[in-house]
Structure 1
Amino acid sequence: MSTPRFLDLPPGVAPQRIETPQGTFAALEALPVSGVVERWPALLVPGVTGSKEDFIAVLMTLAQSGRRVVAVDLRGQFETPGPEDPDAYTCAALGADVDLLAQVIGGGDPVHLVGHSFGGLVAREAAVDGRTKFASLTLMSSGPAAIKGRRARNGRKIMEEVPELGLEHVWHHRLEPEALANDVSDDIMVFLHKRLITNSPIGLTRMAEQVLTMHDRTDELRQIEVPTLVLYGEHDDGWPPQTQSEMAARLGAECVVVPGAVHSPAVEAPETTAAALVRFWNTAEKHYLDLRSTMM
């Protein structure tokens, strides 16, 4: 596995492959450039059309808090292979993959779990299924149920067009025009194109279907009692900010609104996003250790 040469990796960040009983997952691993790993690790899960590279801008800062931080491609995404079975790409199946990844990455320690957009729905499944006890859960630009608005329309187009017309059609008629409108550089355009067409068409279609039909599991998540952060951009065009704020209130979760950001705070406001995550993780660990000391 090799990261595209035009996506420069920060110091301390390197491509890896994570072996699990379910298979091998492509990852970017970040370790502290100075100091040692002394805090619990973190696992970062991307959205439907995303990949581990969506977290590049925050990886070094997160690792410098004394952690091993791992961003992954889900099965069928970019550099992680996936099967032809559509049932392998449900939120429940992908959540089970996240459980295994967390158990391998944690090596016995609790793991901080972060899910972006569709990755938040997957991360929620991993928390709710009870197979793994997470140190914390962050829902980044992710809502309680099906996605809304413009991104929902794009998801429906993916469902309709990928099986019949293929990934190249989706690139030229959906993602490329959006990237051009956002003045994306030529090198990044090359990467975005490669990433899309490397996806499993079956996986991408089923993930799009999942993000459009997911039911609300907020009440179930609250019963897990895992420390939870809801973080989103003030101009989010996926799940409305008000919807995410209401979800945080239902969860009794901390809520952070990232000024100026839209749907990808880790890309659009990396330092603000990383600072919020580190602060939340440190607080969650302190609470756990304080609670354990009172029980001894």
Structure 2
Amino acid sequence: MSTVDETRVPFRSGHTWVRITRPDAPHEGALPLIVLHGGPGFSHDYLRSLAELADTTGRTVVHYDQYGCGRSTHEPDAPADFWTPELFVEEFHTVLAALGIERAHVLGQSWGGMLGAEIAVLRPANVASLQICNSPAAMDLWSQAAAALREELPTEVREALERHEADGSYDDPEYLAASREYDRRHVVRMDPTPQDYLDSVANVDADPTVYHTMNGPNEFHVIGTMRDWTIIDRLPRIEVPTLVLAGEFDEAQPITWQPFAEHIPGARSVVIADASHCSHLEKPEEFRAIVTEFLAGADRLADPDTATTEVSA
């Protein structure tokens, strides 16, 4: 059985909350895995099942709630320009340094994959590989995919979305119900919705500052500060082994993630059948098998002299 520790890493004017899962039987050369959650503005909860990779792959798995999210310090009065990709790139390196991690694999889901790419294009020595899961390479592509998926919704649902978006009544029960229909098809195709996901949603509801500022009111109406974000022209700078993963019914449709596969040298892409945005919850065994195989290969490519499997709390 793995052991779990929690700690707080000082960051900016507050702290970042970190959860460390260590395997009972570490595998030699198995680098730590850092898991980056989505949003921006969610918390790690909906990804905590990935801690099972600690025992199955013999490596330390690190989750953390990004600044402004979950159990980390919140800044509800911070100006909009405080919340930038650069802030979260800085936080990533601060966490790894505090834990004494010299090199690790990075798995980012949704916004976490975007953040992972932002980290990897800078070619830091502490990143051994990158897994981009259910993520877009540009937000205009995300919006295009969302528009196409919205066209497939029932007429009354589409009309409700359009009506409330026109007058900005995003908290109207009718709008929220229509949004849930989109989520049911393309975000979490499970009934009932897993508690891990509900826990992350509850954290966003308690303080939506980061999500509303950077993204917008929901998954498909992107009007926040990230609406023009793109990393496509920088992707050739990524030099580490990269896995690009998505679900068949994902709101991250192929148009959104194909630039990762096309522009990152040697990138491998996988689509999980009958899954959507939360592929790791809907098809957990298949998801973990794909990740495990990729990590084993990435470990073999990593320089063993830089491997650090002991992580300090």
Same fold (TM over 0.5): yes
Change (3 A) 1:93 1:170: farther
Change (3 A) 1:213 1:219: closer
Instruction: Give 1:120's aligned amino acid.
Output: G
Partner of 1:64: 56
Q: Does 1:127 align with 2:120?
A: yes
Q: Does 1:76 align with 2:68?
A: yes
Q: Does 1:26 align with 2:24?
A: no
**Higher percent of residues as helix:** 1
- What TM-score do the two structures reach when normalised by structure 2? 0.72
Change (3 A) 1:236 1:17: same
Partner of 2:105: 112
The answer for unaligned runs of 5 or more in structure 2 is: 151-160, 216-223, 307-313
Q: Does 1:207 align with 2:214?
A: yes
Change (3 A) 1:266 1:205: same
Q: Does 1:136 align with 2:129?
A: yes
Change (3 A) 1:20 1:189: closer
Instruction: Give 1:206's aligned amino acid.
Output: T
The answer for unaligned runs of 5 or more in structure 1 is: 1-10
**Match runs of 1:25-44 below 5 Å:** 25-32=16-23, 34-36=24-26, 38=28, 39-44=30-35
Distance 1:275 1:186 in 2: 20
Distance 1:234 1:289 in 2: 35
**Match runs of 1:207-226 below 5 Å:** 207-208=214-215, 209-215=224-230, 217-226=231-240
Distance 1:190 1:285 in 2: 33
Shift of 1:205: 1.8
Higher RCO (C-alpha 8 Å, min separation 6): 2
Please point out which of 259, 271, 276 is paired with 1:257. 271
Q: Does 1:14 align with 2:21?
A: no
For this pair of structures, how many residues does the alignment match?
270
SS in 1 for 2:34: strand
Change (3 A) 1:185 1:143: closer
Identity over aligned pairs, percent: 22
Q: Does 1:194 align with 2:199?
A: no
Instruction: Give 1:212's aligned amino acid.
Output: R
SS in 2 for 1:138: strand
Partner of 1:6: none
Distance 1:186 1:254 in 2: 29
Shift of 1:104: 2.9
Shift of 1:275: 1.7
Partner of 1:95: 89
Change (3 A) 1:274 1:104: farther
Distance 1:77 1:169 in 2: 25
Partner of 1:3: none
Deviation per residue, 1:55-102 (Å, 9 max, x gap): 122211344311110112111112212323223321121122112223
SS in 2 for 1:212: coil
